[in-house]
Amino acid sequence: MSYIRLELEINLDQHKLTEKDFCKVVDKFFKKLSRLTKTESSEEKMGFIIVNRHITVDVSIDLKEKFLNIFPKFNSTELIKALDAITKYIKYENCEKVGSIYINQYNTHKDLFAYQNKLYLSEITHEENQKIQTVRGLKEGEVSFKISNEIKEIPVETNVVLAHMSLERN
């Protein structure tokens, strides 16, 4: 059985969204996610706190064979569309990990980072004598960093910030 797991803990900007607008954005976001979870989801937790504009999501989406074609590698168009519904309302001046995506079919784990009002997917893969961190914006493209195996602690957040700066220039 193939599945995708999305975990997300994110705050939206209180100055951009009134309580009423926040509820509309959350409703739109949850509807987009629920379209995915209708594929026989085994686990589902979605919630929000209006006062501080906080969203919590922890869903596992079991994928039947007919749904696998909408999830090429990790760049799920439908999942990206769902995340895009909230992206313009996030406010993170500092780089912060806000969630993760796991796809068991490819055994891939991507971390979600928020920085400068954008979301980035970060994945670290291992090759012969080095690691490669690939940072992908939801719409901006991607940047890869080659990291020597001698480096024990990978500066993930720093690389996300550098990728942001690089993608912003292009």
Question: What is the residue extent of each domain of the chain?
Answer: 2-169
Please list, in sequence order, all residues whose beta carbon lies within 8 angstroms of the beta carbon of residue 141, skipping any fewer than 6 positions away: 167, 170
CATH, domain 2-169, list 3.10.580.10, 3.30.70.100, 3.90.1660.10, 1.10.3720.10:
3.30.70.100
pTM of the model: 0.82
Cβ neighbours around 96 below 10 Å, total? 15
pLDDT for 9-58, tens place per residue? 999 998 989 999 999 999 988 888 877 765 444 556 778 888 888 898 88
